[in-house]
Structure 1
Amino acid sequence: MTRREKAMANFMQGYNCSQAITLAFADLVPMDESTLLKLASSFGGGMGRLREVCGSVSGMFMIAGLLYGYDGPETGEKKAVHYARIQELAKRFEEKHGTIVCREMLGLSVQHDAPTPEARTKEYYKKRPCAEIIGDAAEILEQYIAENPLD
């Protein structure tokens, strides 16, 4: 199963968009799955259903941080290099979807949505492009990792 397929399947099982991505890449990071899922749990629905940055984008950024990030109070080149990575991932996602903002991709006028998620029914999945968006994020991240091998 490809990472795209894993991420999409994770979403279809009920994980939020950020968790779906992070779980699909869990084998690459130095963190147990439970902790990784808890870390990503706040970022579904564009950050707690605030409809801001798409959870799949946040998930990409979290995995990129765990793989390539820094862990000190950096202020110079090391931080700039990492931020450039994050901006590159965002750019690739924007090229495909026109934005990294959840509500814009979903065509929602509401910014801060109710905190209670909708039930994951067949109708929910039919009206939401989220699974495909998550699949695209997984492909973008997988390609980026292939192009930028870890030390």
Structure 2
Amino acid sequence: MKTRADKAEELFKQGYNCCQSVFGAFCDVAGMNLNQAVRFASAFGAGFGKLREVCGAVSGMTLVIGCMDGYDNPAEKEGKVALYGTTQQLIGEFKARQGSYVCREMLGLAPGEDLAEPAVRTDDYYASRPCLSAVRDAADIVQRHYGIADIE
């Protein structure tokens, strides 16, 4: 058995971005295959298309939250309130673990500063960036909150 955090880490080490790695680890929950899920999540990497805003791991986490608790009736006020409450709670847990949910801040970048992409995924890369622990934390938070089963 493999936890969703293990699967997210595995996907990240294969070269998927943070959002793809987290959402891909829950593709079955979303009713998608892996190819569909990573394509769907692809533009959210590097803080929304390399804008270094909301961390891609958090974006992946919120996509899963939407799959689990999302609403489809725009008049459903209670559903929206509950969804936003859960989203804020889980992102708050992520922030408590990682210190931020903003990609730029997590990478220690000043506004407008950036890193070369796509970076080669070496041991130095994994040691110098919080991305691997971020995808693990995001997947762990969602899996624990919803009681989603491990992967066989």
Q: Same fold by TM (over 0.5)?
A: yes
Q: Which runs of 5+ in 1 are unaligned?
A: none
In structure 2, the residue matched to 1:45 is: 46
In structure 2, the residue matched to 1:142 is: 143
In structure 1, the residue matched to 2:125 is: 124
Query: Does residue 71 of the first structure (1) align with residue 72 of the second (2)?
Result: yes
Shift of 1:65: 0.3
Per-residue displacement from partner, 1:76-130 (whole Å, max 9, x unpaired)? Answer: 1111111111111111111112211011111111447478422323332232121
- Percentage of identical aligned residues: 44
RMSD value over aligned CA atoms? Answer: 1.9
- How many residues align? The count is 147
Matches within 5 A, 1:2-151: 2-74=3-75, 76-111=77-112, 113=114, 116-146=117-147
The residue type paired with residue 142 of structure 2 is L
Q: Is the 8 Å Cα contact of residues 89 and 141 (structure 1) preserved in structure 2?
A: yes
Runs of 4+ more than 3 Å apart? 110-116
Q: State which drifts further: 79-88 or 13-22.
A: 79-88
- Provide the TM-score with structure 2 as the length reference: 0.87
The separation in 1 between residues aligned to 2:80 and 2:116, in whole angstroms, is 34
Q: Which runs of 5+ in 2 are unaligned?
A: none
- Provide the TM-score with structure 1 as the length reference: 0.88
CA spacing shift, 1:48–1:6, aligned 2, 3 Å? same
Shift of 1:45: 0.6
The separation in 1 between residues aligned to 2:7 and 2:98, in whole angstroms, is 20
Q: Is the 8 Å Cα contact of residues 48 and 115 (structure 1) preserved in structure 2?
A: no
Shift of 1:133: 1.4
Give secondary structure in 2 for the equivalent of 1:26: coil
